[in-house]
Structure 1
Amino acid sequence: MRAEAGQVLHFSEDPTITVFEPHIARTAKQREAYVWAVDAQRSPDYWFPRQCPRAMAWVQESTTEDDRERIIGDGDRVHAVEYGWLEAMRTVELYAYRLPAADFHDFEGQCHVATTIVRPLGPAERVGDLFALHEEANIQLRVLPNLWPFWDRVITSSLAFSGIRLRNACPPVQGRPVIQSETGSIRST
């Protein structure tokens, strides 16, 4: 499930949305009200239940071969989740809304935002089997007892990365207190 030309996607567990109104998310760091969406490249970041914590890493131009082999192994991208989220990934009913890309602008190279009301181009589409989506996209899906050791390796590597809903992850491994990084994302030391 990816956006097509001229579209961005909004993923939701609610298939009844008929209009998207800008709002300030409860966890937002910015004060502006937005409608959030992603393009085809960032769509895999949202092939998860909404509240599922996930750590993701992928090869970029500056990635060293050592980091690629050490963290990703074969392939170009890896997503990691915790064991406790497997059942939710298997059973969630996730939907995607196709939205007109012209209504959005880039937000920090990670997603797209609109500051006005946006109407979907059609009804919500069921995303389907999240494991199959990962397999079809050749994205490794790792299941770990705790995300923090993996996250620590990723954020200190030359890989591109993203962590979503990490506040919902299991507590850090004992002796590894959580701190805020200079970019505001959660990490452990």
Structure 2
Amino acid sequence: MRPDVGQVLHFSEDPTIKRFVPHVAKTSRQSTPYVWAVGADRCPDYWFPRHCPRVMAWKGSRTRAWDVERIVGAGCGERVHAIEYGWLRPMMEVRLYAYRLPAAAFVPIGEPPHAVVAEVPVEPLGPPEPVTDLIELHEEAGIQLRVLDNLWPFWNQITASTMEFSGIRLRNARRSTS
């Protein structure tokens, strides 16, 4: 599930949104109200239930080959996502929807950019589209999906590597075992 040219996507478990209004999320570090969305490159970060903690790592321009082999695995592609066992069933059962939004309303945020934001209300370009089998989406995209007992040891490993990485909803992860 990726946007077409001129579009960005917003993923949600709510299929009833008619208009996206800028707001400050409870967990946001930003004080400016935004409508959040992602471009094609960051869509896989959101192929999960909303509250699912996840760790993602991928090969970047400065990533060393041995880190890709060590973190992702030899011959296993260039990207890996990890969740905890307790989130496997919710990942298989979630009803996730993608809203296609006009890209012209959005600007990149973050350094490097990790999302796009709009400071004005945005109406979807059409009805939300069901996002089908999230595990199959990972497979089709060539993204290795790992299910771990605890995310923190893997997080510590990738943050100390040359891989690009992201962690989302880590406050919902099990406590560190270290």
TM-score range, shorter chain: over 0.9
Q: After superposition, where does 1:10-159 map in structure 2 within 5 Å?
A: 10-73=10-73, 74-108=76-110, 109-159=113-163
How far residue 61 of structure 1 moved from its aligned partner, in angstroms, is 1.2
Q: Which has the higher contact order (CA 8 A, sep 6+)?
A: 2
Q: Amino acid of the residue matched to residue 135 of structure 2?
A: F
Instruction: For residues 108-157 of structure 1, give each alpha carbon's deviation from its aligned partner in whole angstroms, at most 9, with x where no partner exists.
Output: 11000000000000000000100100000000000000000000001111
Structure 2 counterpart of 1:165, which letter?
Answer: R
Segments of structure 2 that go 5 or more residues without pairing to the other structure are: none
Instruction: Give secondary structure in 2 for the equivalent of 1:26.
Output: coil
Q: Secondary structure at the match of 1:5?
A: coil
Q: Provide the identity percentage.
A: 61
C-alpha displacement of 1:103: 0.3
Aligned to 1:182: none
Structure 2: how far apart are the matches of 1:125 and 1:170? 32
Secondary structure of 2:81 counterpart: strand
- Residue 52 of structure 1 deviates from its aligned partner by 0.1
Separation of aligned partners in 2, 1:40 and 1:5: 9
The CA RMSD measured in Å over matched residues stands at 0.5
| Offset of residue 21 of structure 1 | 0.1
Mapped to 1, the partners of 2:20 and 2:65 lie a distance apart of 42
Deviations 1:48-104 (A, max 9, x none): 000000000000111111111110112110000000000000000000000000000
Q: What one-letter code is carried by the residue in structure 1 that aligns with 2:68? A: R
Query: Residue 41 of structure 1 aligns to a residue in which SS?
Result: helix
- TM-score of the aligned structures, taking structure 2 as reference length: 0.97
Question: Which runs of 5 or more residues in structure 1 are unaligned?
Answer: 177-189
